[in-house]
Amino acid sequence: MRMNLVLELLDVPGQLVDALEPIGRLGANIVAVIHQRDVKTEQGTVPVQITIEGDKDTLNHVLSALEDENICIIAVDGVLRKERIMSILIGNIVDQDVKSTVDMLNALDGVNVADFNLKMSDYPKNSAARILIEAESGKRKEVLKKIKEVGKSKEFLVINEV
């Protein structure tokens, strides 16, 4: 059987080779690799589409091996594995401990803060932060609820996506 993967790799030398290594090692065939370095995400990573072939067990082993090496799998056979959730906070972001804000979100299983953008205002109490969260698919509701909770506890105005 065949499996279509979309991976997201850092744009540095050697990344693609590292991602392909477990495929060959575990006995799957690579059918196609589409790798366009000039198409980048907002975070500067490069999406790579890979089609591999093998029996079911082999393909599953490949998936786990990629995960073990912390290679980001965006989609498997067109189904998103990760979703991105963006939120903006307004409030006394810095004094309310940026690290603990991020930690509280990272504490959720399968969720991590991928980007944190802070914009100070003339009044520090009204600073704004944009958080980009990557979460396993299906976790959106849980994450949005958590952001609201964090916002409430730190008196931030939370602006979630619709």
Partner 1 sequence: MKIFIMGFGAVGKGVVKVFSIKGNNLKQKYGLDFEIVAVTDTSGTALCDKGLDPDLLLNTKEKTGRVCDYPEYGIPGLSSPEALSKVEYDCLVEVTPTNIEDGEPAKTHMLKAMSDKKDVVTSNKGPLALCFKELVGTAKNNNVQFKFEASVGGAMPIINFAHENLSGCDIESIFGILNGTTNYILSRMAKEGSSYEQTLKEAQEMGIAETDPTQDVEGTDAACKIVILANSIMNMDVSLGDVEINGISKITPESIFLAKKEGYLIKLIAEASLDTLEVSPRLVKEGSPLSVEGTMNVATLKTDLAEDITVVGKGAGSVETASAILSDLISIWKSKK
For 24-47, give one letter per residue: b (16+ CB within 10 A) or e.
eebebeeeebeeeeeeeeeeebbb
Smallest distance, Å, CB 29 to partner 1? 38
Binding-residue pattern over the window 119 to 158 for partner 1, x denoting contact by CB under 8 A: xxx----xxxxx--------------------------xx
Of 54-93, binders to partner 1 (CB under 8 A) are 86-88, 90
Query: 75: closest CA among 43, 44, 50?
Result: 50
Binding-residue pattern over the window 36 to 55 for partner 1, x denoting contact by CB under 8 A: ------x-------------
Cα–Cα dist 20/23, whole Å: 5
Angle at which helix 98-106 crosses helix 140-154, to 10 degrees, equals 150
Smallest distance, Å, CB 117 to partner 1? 6
Chain residues binding partner 1 by CB under 8 A are 42, 86-88, 90, 117, 119-121, 126-130, 157-162
